């Protein structure tokens, strides 16, 4: 369902990695209440036929102040992200939301397997941060791949969480084949090695289609129904 549009003010900008930037927006007309995993639609004043509409997931759960935390990668020659990187504190954008069904099922009756590549981590980070704001009885595994260690945003946070939460299992993997230490297998291989025999899990997968779709197929070929898998595709 369409949500009303409103202006939002940029209240903070910071780099999370060489290519990923965080943007904090404060909606100026009404608070946007959302479930972790949802996204907002930005109407950007660029392109041949503005506005250019682009979706961005919330990176942090809802805040009492109503501010929204987004994180995006600067796509080379990307029109939308190329505009977003020019924004600075005090600038305004037009947005609407929330939208989307990439949310944790309720009640949660299975262990969760999160699989993300690159900025596909954004809604998953929001979900994990929300879930571990309270005690969790289910096992949760995060398989998270990035082009380089420096591009694994929130890596330190997930490492710290896995050190204190015995039911949070963090499996980062660096895909450039050049960094000596740590895991470098693609996420699909890691899924196969960890979950080949398990149908009693609920996978949540986020990234571009070429990444997400083979992983969903992997799980459906092992007997999961499509409704037992949740995906978010960025393109």
Ligand X SMILES: Cc1cc2nc3c(=O)[nH]c(=O)nc-3n(C[C@H](O)[C@H](O)[C@H](O)COP(=O)(O)OP(=O)(O)OC[C@H]3O[C@@H](n4cnc5c(N)ncnc54)[C@H](O)[C@@H]3O)c2cc1C
User: Nearest to residue 198, comparing CAs of 151, 141, 153?
Assistant: 141
Nearer Cβ to ligand X (48/235): 235
Nearer Cβ to ligand X (119/162): 119
Nearer Cβ to ligand X (129/138): 129
Whether the CB-CB separation of 23 and 88 falls below 8 Å is answered with: no
Binding site for ligand X (CB under 6 A): 39, 54-57, 71-73, 75, 78-82, 100, 119, 122, 208, 232, 234-235
Nearer Cβ to ligand X (100/203): 100
Find the shortest distance in angstroms from Cβ 77 to ligand X: 7
Find the shortest distance in angstroms from Cβ 100 to ligand X: 6
Find the shortest distance in angstroms from Cβ 232 to ligand X: 6
Find the shortest distance in angstroms from Cβ 46 to ligand X: 8
User: Nearest to residue 99, comparing CAs of 115, 123, 116, 118?
Assistant: 123
Nearer Cβ to ligand X (63/163): 63
Q: What SS3 state is found at 217?
A: helix
Nearer Cβ to ligand X (85/108): 85
Find the shortest distance in angstroms from Cβ 206 to ligand X: 8
**H or E, element range at 189:** helix 187-195
121-131 and 155-164 are packed helices; what angle lies between their axes, rounded to 10 degrees? 30
Find the shortest distance in angstroms from Cβ 25 to ligand X: 13
Instruction: Report the length, in residues, of the chain.
Output: 235
Instruction: List, in sequence order, every residue forming a beta bridge with 145; answer none if it has no partner.
Output: 117, 173
Q: What is the 3-state secondary structure (H, E, C) of 27-92?
A: ECCCCCCCCCCCEEEEEECCCCCCCEEEEEEECCCCCCCCCEEEEEECCCCCHHHHHHCCCCCCCE
CA 207 to chain centre: 8
Residue nearest to ligand X (CB): 78
């Amino acid at each position: 369902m369409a949500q009303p549009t409103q202006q939002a003010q940029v209240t903070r900008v910071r780099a999370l990695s060489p290519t990923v930037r965080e943007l904090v927006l404060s909606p100026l007309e009404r608070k946007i209440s959302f479930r972790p995993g949802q996204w907002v639609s930005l109407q950007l004043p660029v392109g041949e036929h503005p506005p250019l509409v682009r979706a961005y997931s919330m990176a942090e759960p809802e805040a009492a102040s109503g501010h929204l935390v987004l994180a995006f990668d600067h796509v080379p020659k990307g029109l939308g992200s190329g505009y977003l990187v020019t924004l600075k504190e005090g600038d305004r954008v037009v947005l609407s939301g929330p939208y989307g069904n990439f949310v944790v099922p309720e009640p949660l009756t299975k262990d969760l397997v999160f699989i993300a590549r690159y900025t596909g981590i954004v809604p998953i980070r929001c979900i994990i941060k929300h879930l571990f704001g309270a005690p969790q009885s289910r096992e949760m595994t995060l398989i998270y791949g990035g082009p380089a260690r420096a591009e694994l945003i929130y890596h330190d946070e997930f490492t710290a969480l896995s050190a204190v939460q015995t039911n949070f299992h963090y499996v980062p993997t660096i895909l450039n084949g050049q960094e000596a230490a740590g895991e470098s297998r693609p996420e699909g291989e890691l899924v196969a090695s960890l979950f080949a025999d398990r149908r009693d899990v609920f996978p949540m997968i986020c990234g571009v289609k070429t990444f997400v779709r083979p992983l969903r197929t992997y799980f459906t070929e092992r007997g999961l129904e499509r409704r037992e898998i949740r995906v978010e595709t960025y393109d």
